[in-house]
Amino acid sequence: MPHLLILGEGYTGGRLRAALDTRVWQVTGTAREAREGVLSFDDEDSVAAAIKGATHILSSIPPAGDRDPVLDRYGTRIAAARAWRGYLSSTGVYGDWRGAWVDESAPIGGGRRTGRSDADERWQGMPGCHIFRLPGIYGPGRSPFARLRAGTAKRIGSPGQVFSRVHVDDIVGAVMRAMTAPAPGIYNIADDEPAPAHEVTAFAAQLMGVSPPPLQPLDQAELSPAARGFYSENRRVANGRMKRVLGASLRYPDYRGGLRAVWREEQG
């Protein structure tokens, strides 16, 4: 039986576990605290044993500051394991492209997330590793619907500003494709239609049957430094290599189909 170890079983990792056939796959995760089927990341003996016994290892733990905690603590063991390897990275490594399309051949390290870029480069040095660069992730329980319900949603107008995004199940599909038909390398996992964030929120409001928040100019919006940094980068993420080389396909090629699916699932 193949055995997948998910280092950092959070939102995406949990969705991956749920998608795998338990009659075929054994799955072990790690988290800050142990629970059934999930080890404490700090339990080095147990995690080391899981690494040794795994046929597939996926890390979804982001850097802590400028360091990757997985590679710092378990990198030597992962490199020595006879296992498939994958890492969930971020398209933030590309930095600002002023709205232009960016693919996997682009240089990294010029953006806000230098720690993420450093980790991405270190995982590139891991033998046979699949690196999945992800834009904004949305799905059930993580979408504009929750912000609209809470009254915290904002619509910020910034002319020419677009963002790429991906439904969590399309990440899961790409990772599962890579696990069953390995093709080590770097892949952008994104949908086909980068779009302004305010359009996505307006469409979610339409599905809910509520009025969208008013559109605010960026220079007048009250945003946290982190949120303002989000708007400092503008790029369109190209996904052709994901389709061409990895052979993955998208269930939700645009946010409209993805949000409809989220809405249906959240309504039960």
- Secondary structure of residue 122 in the 3-state scheme: helix
CA distance 157 to 189: 26
Residue the block writes with tokens 């693919």: 103
Q: What's the one-letter identity of residue 105?
A: S
Q: Say which DSSP state 244 is in.
A: I
Which candidate, 94, 175, 81, 164, places its Cα nearest to that of 128?
81
Based on the number of CB atoms within 10 Å of its own CB, is 76 exposed (0-12), middle (13-18) or buried (19 or more)? exposed
Distance CA 82, CA 56 (A): 9
pLDDT at 229: 81
- Mean pLDDT for each 10-residue chunk of the chain (268 residues)? 97 97 96 94 98 98 94 98 98 95 94 87 96 98 95 92 97 98 98 97 98 92 82 95 97 98 93
Helix, strand, coil % over all residues of the chain, rounded to 5: 40, 20, 40
- Extract the tokens encoding 228: 């303002």
At residue 134, what are phi and psi to the nearest 5 degrees? -115, 140
Contact (CB, 8 A) for 75 and 104 = no
Q: Which of 12, 68, 13 is nearest to 38 (CA)?
A: 13
Q: Structure pTM? A: 0.96
State the Cα–Cα distance between residues 165 and 240, nearest whole angstrom. 15
